[in-house]
Amino acid sequence: MVTYILIKFVLVLFVFLLALTVAAYSTYGERKVSALMQDRIGPDRAGPYGLLQPLADGIKMFTKEELIPTNSSKYLFVLGPSIAMLTALMAGVVIPWAGPIEAFGQQLTFQVSDINIGILYIFSVVSIGVYGIMIGGWASNNKYSLLGALRASSQMISYEIAMGLAIVALVMKSGTLSLGEIVTQQQGDWINVVYQPLGFLIFLICAFAETNRAPFDLPECETELIGGYHTEYSSMKLGLFLFAEYINMFVSSAVISALYFGGYNLPFQAALGLEGAWLAVLQFGFFFLKIVFFIFLFMWVRWTIPRFRYDQLLHLGWKILLPLAILNIIITGLVMWANGSLA
């Protein structure tokens, strides 16, 4: 029992640090990718190739003056970024990082908790994340913050429905809500994106909206709302909001790769003939590569597509993605019925 708790503790710590490191270097990556796409160089002063830039940014954030507006509700003002950060970090626990190995006399799974409703867990935690933004925007007592918070909440609610329905089709196909099992099912088989291309597309678009990334970054929307929900925030509280966005990006990249791109499974895994720890390391590396690719995709799209207008955003969510997701469910059901795989 002690070993079990110890192993889980180490795993939690690992996931925590991984999420923070990846998020920190995503900020660096974001600036570098945007610079390269705009024919610039990007950060290159702090350390070789600017690699210490996240550290410098962190120090800057911590040493900035902390301002709490006089007319804000101070308790909620602090609660907002805390919730945003907390929920962003919580979502990572159900992601399987590598296949199970035998060690210390028991089976080790590289997944903090393989709860049988893993997907629902992620959904619920992510939807709590909206509260962080809403509370932060409300507590600032600023019209721009409030508008940003309003946009964030309606946007997230709209897109969560289409996202959930896109997942329903996948769950119908897999027959389970556990992330670990969905990944295991894709072992030695075609990855899910082959069976669910439309579902993947809807899920991807909704993931952009859920993480408040361009072209759906209306809640922060510098051009109209100054900074949206984080207009009044300064110092590390602002840092937490920005950081939470990058952690969300990391988690959704991980979820996308786990659900639709085979998670940690290597192509031709059986033919490789590897076993034990080496296989686990290789699997983790491959999974990480997929995550990095999706994070890059997030940035790539951000620096290519301009922001939606607000009515276009809701139009896309309710009148296009939602019917498409329902259509996807119907098609999946029909195909399963034709296959005779309906129990």
Contacts with other proteins by CB under 8 A lie at 33, 35-41, 300-301, 303-305
Q: Which residues of 321-343 are buried (b: 16+ CB within 10 A; e: fewer)?
A: bbebbeebbeebeeebeeeeeee
| Minimum distance from residue 166 beta carbon to other proteins (Å) | 16
**Angle at alpha carbon of residue 35, lines to 30 and 37, rounded to 5°:** 95
In the chain, count H helices and then E strands: 14, 2
Residue whose entry in the numeric block shows the structure tokens 């590897």:
274
Question: What is the distance between the alpha carbons of residues 308 and 288, in angstroms, rounded to a whole number?
Answer: 31
CB contact at 8 A, 111 and 96: yes
| Minimum distance from residue 40 beta carbon to other proteins (Å) | 5
| Minimum distance from residue 161 beta carbon to other proteins (Å) | 21
Helix axes 118-139, 235-260, angle to 10 degrees: 160
Residue whose entry in the numeric block shows the structure tokens 């796409």:
37
| Minimum distance from residue 197 beta carbon to other proteins (Å) | 12
Q: CB nearer to other proteins: give 83 or 218.
A: 218
Q: CB nearer to other proteins: give 35 or 226.
A: 35
Q: CB nearer to other proteins: give 87 or 328.
A: 328
Q: CB nearer to other proteins: give 304 or 341.
A: 304
| Minimum distance from residue 56 beta carbon to other proteins (Å) | 18
Tokens of 165: 């329905």
| Minimum distance from residue 300 beta carbon to other proteins (Å) | 6
The CA R_g of the chain, rounded to the nearest whole Å, is: 21
Q: CB nearer to other proteins: give 39 or 311.
A: 39
Q: CB nearer to other proteins: give 284 or 303.
A: 303
